[in-house]
Amino acid sequence: MVSIEYSEAIVEVLEILQYSDDNIIEKIPKKLIEFWQKNKSTTYKPKLDHNKSINEMDLKKKTKSIISMIYLNYLCDDEEKNNIRLILKDNEEKYQQELIEKYNPDIILKKYNQKQELAENVVATNMSMVEYREPIFKKFINIIKRFFHILFSK
């Protein structure tokens, strides 16, 4: 069982292949096309404009991936395959480097510590601005205590 997204992409791929030359279709293994026929969506109806090139069509991301796989594995020559694989390898290395920079624990911890310091400074600033006021009832009791203290100390 394949996902809905993948089964819809298969429909788009099969439609594109219907409008392709026979020599292109002959290069794709029959078992792969049969697999796609069995797993395509029965409800999805793509709206592709076949007057446009594949690059100009509004295709699903999975469709583009499948078409890329077809091109890489079955249609291009060895030299082009090597060039594409080098580009893919370079892109993967760049992507991994971005992930390392984005999710580097040292950087995340440093940002967290900076936020904590900032929060502590804000709390300290707010606390220093608060003026303590003695409740009226407490003032009254302290006045009575002083009165009796003065009275009994003589």
pLDDT of 131 reads 66
The predicted model gives 144-153 an average pLDDT of: 72
Name the average pLDDT for the chain: 84
pLDDT computed for residue 101 by the predictor: 82
pLDDT tier for residue 117 given thresholds of 50, 70 and 90: confident
With b for 16 or more beta-carbon neighbours within 10 A and e for fewer, the 53-76 pattern comes to: eeeebebbebbbebbeebeeeeee
pLDDT on residue 94: 95
Q: Is the pLDDT of residue 154 over 60?
A: no
Which range scores top for mean pLDDT: 84-88, 103-107, 119-123?
84-88
Contact predicate 13/60, CB 8 Å: no
The domains of the chain are located at 4-77, 106-153
Q: What is the pLDDT of residues 46-98, one digit of tens each?
A: 888 888 888 888 899 999 999 999 999 999 999 999 998 999 899 999 999 99
Is the pTM for the entire model greater than 0.75? no
Residue percentage of the chain with pLDDT more than 70 = 88
H or E element, residue 150: helix 136-153
